[in-house]
Structure 1
């Protein structure tokens, strides 16, 4: 780890505009500093701001909920408002890390976490446009089994790592940012950027800006699921995941939100799947059509081509669960759809 200047913020106003990086839970940043991937010259520790309430509370916000950026993953998952109104977010948080990490990691830090692509995290690999712009993308010609099939470019195919971000996108969440020029709000689905020609620019976060809150609007429905498939059940990132929120009335889909994880270079909302669902019967056939729509623009490579049929099955299973047609084990629910 390289030398750096360290300061502890005593107020939001004192933190805003500071150079370098903000330190909250540190569960991603410190790891990357130890690996010499992140090299901030200045760290501003914002953990003291948990005491002021604004950045750590979870409260009702009109018909929705406001989550302070320093609320921990555990605090958020266990909060009654989240468990009752946003079950897919709770499921994503519980699937996203061990209990110890959830106790430390902040919600603001979770959506800022960086990819687990080995070409990014290991300096022995010289080609990584995300770490060293212009050096190339080692994954494209190397090991890319876990890489993205949606949203990639010639410069980068690294997947986004956050489970919670997928659920937040499905719920239509927004990010509240405060900087030297005041406060602004950005939709979660716009906050993370596609790699394009500049994969090292990952977020719509300006110099000196601090994430202060996440805003969840009123959910379109309480029926929601986060389904995650991974190589092993514990402490593993998604090969494919789906957050599905469905409003089903009289056997027909009234409204739908679908977002994917483990397959995109950012948390991947699928308006194509949503369009294929609305005003259609809530049946397996409809859900299979939605899965095909979601994956119509997938660009897999040789090692990750399996993600296309895998993700199709994940989407269908998540939608079936959200519609109440199957249980968590995939067994048909007696009387469902009758």
Structure 2
């Protein structure tokens, strides 16, 4: 009876004995966090002989990742000699089933010539992970490796050497940029989306988004047919706080998402202090200041402690003043504006 093993992300291998009509088991000595990414079955001529299988796992951070082996059709599993690496792909030599290959996240391609007991690295690192492996059934020393960022590689000597066959290209979002990258709240920035290749007939609709209510973007930007880029406007809101805020602007097309960060700063006024005098005999502090924002509220603080002394009165245009009873000379005082401006001045003893 033929078994059809299948694998899942929850750390289990299931089997079907009726061509996939019904699945059962959930076999596996795997942790639930060990995602079974790849499954390979050793060719056999006797359907009554229990199948030998290999499973490549991808564990969460701190979880065991390895190539596992089962010699009883998936009932029991044991780790092979390749452990501690996240495995994406497996391939078995159909003529010499004890020879197999494993594609990994960061270690490239590994090869075993003894049924998984020992492994050696064949290279192909720094390519964004080896996501898939294919072996030529007629010439098993010829292999193909699909990578995350560098296209397809080919080996004609059993993994000893790998040569690029060229990038797999498709039109997708290459970048999103902002100009300027920092604006005062209430102002706008111009965004540009750039594709990896010219947009097809009918144009390319790039989906846009933002993670903050400080900034707003249109739902999409359309790159005209034959063009590689398009612009859009990012509008911003005025900030109610005196701290800068960031917004991530994202663009998605062709299954790829790119993002850029826009910094939004508050609109601030300029504060200047004309008088900061302390009369010790009267315990009185006199302050005069100006603000470029005529609607601002100005408050006086002890610079060293941040203690509020009082609020200045707005009496003429952009001018403010105040007299405060204070027990000691604050030495240095800071005037802060509700419009986020500030100024500091040494206090003169009178």
**Which structure's relative contact order is higher, taking Cα pairs within 8 Å and 6+ residues apart?**
1
Q: State whether TM-score is above 0.5.
A: no
Shorter-chain-normalised TM-score: which range? Answer: under 0.3
Which of the two has greater helix per residue?
1
Which of the two has greater strand per residue?
2
TM-score, normalised by the number of residues in structure 1: 0.20
